[in-house]
Amino acid sequence: MKVIIKKDYLELSKVAANIVRDEIIRKPNAVLGLPTGSTPLGMYRELIRMHKEEGLDLSGATTFNLDEYYGISYDNEQSYHYYMHQNFFDHVNIKPVNINIPDVIDDDIDRECEEYDNRIRKSGGIDLMILGIGHNGHIGFNEPGEEMETRTHITDLTKETIEANARFFENYDMVPKKAVTMGFGGIMTARKILLLANGEGKAEIIGKLLGSSKISTRIPASFLHIHSNVIVAVSEDAAKGLR
Ligand code: F6R
């Protein structure tokens, strides 16, 4: 894994946006895998700036989001559909037909999961997958546990993740307990992976991830060690656990 340490969140966001921009310039019809959460917000802001001020053209790009809460309506401000439109898609020129986010409203969720993987395959596969990381090492909503699902699937969120997400909801009962997430199979077929981590809260998990080359379902992110083209970009405070 190649590690990039940046002074602060702004610099981290810029380096992430530069990597996305370079991929789009190299391959205008690139397929991007996209995360939500607090970490990529600065990257999306910088990409919007590049689009508006520097003419970055995303009209050929296709996107696949990593995950969506199960049973949430898309006009709920906490849904990832809402987040992606609000924070990125509404401000750039990605064609709506090329935007893919797991459809959690579908009556047959298993079929939708299967179709999501088929759509990724038919697109030619993900060129650049951008990831955040949970405090517990989750990637997408692939949570620590006994086993790891490779395909897109519906999953129970761990207590730790529900608690981490609770800050965004009015009360605990409203926090989704399930999500649909791309599995490690989909993530690992990406040709290049960029993992982002910001803030002191991520120092421990980044220390664990980079402090060992072993893989374990207890730290889902550790599976990234198998991939040959991973960049881990972190802010200085998230790098505090590194020797
Ligand atoms: C979101 C996602 C999650 C987040 C992770 C970190 O699409 O896949 O795995 O990347 O929970 O979230 P933040 O960035 O809010 O710390």
Residue range 105-148, pLDDT digits in tens: 877 999 999 999 999 999 999 999 999 999 999 999 999 999 99
| Predicted confidence band of residue 156 (pLDDT cuts 50, 70, 90) | very high
117 CB near ligand 1 (under 6 Å): no
Indicate the number of domains in the chain: 1
Amino acid identity at 233: A
Residue 41 φ/ψ, nearest 5 degrees: -55, -45
Residue 243 has pLDDT above 80, yes or no: no
CATH of the domain at 152: 3.40.50.1360
For 66-91, letters b (16+ CB in 10 Å) and e give: bbbbbebeeeeebbbbbbbbebbbeb
Distance CA 137, CA 199 (A): 15
Distances (CA, A) of 84 to 66, 196, 224: 11, 17, 25
67 CB near ligand 1 (under 6 Å): yes
Residue range 164-220, pLDDT digits in tens: 889 888 889 889 999 999 999 999 999 999 999 999 999 999 999 999 999 999 999
Nearest CA to ligand 1 atom 10: 132
Q: What's this model's pTM, rounded to 2 decimal places?
A: 0.96
For the CA of 34, the closest atom of ligand 1 is: 7
Q: Which domain holds residue 150?
A: 2-239
Span from the CA of 203 to the centroid of ligand 1 (angstroms): 15
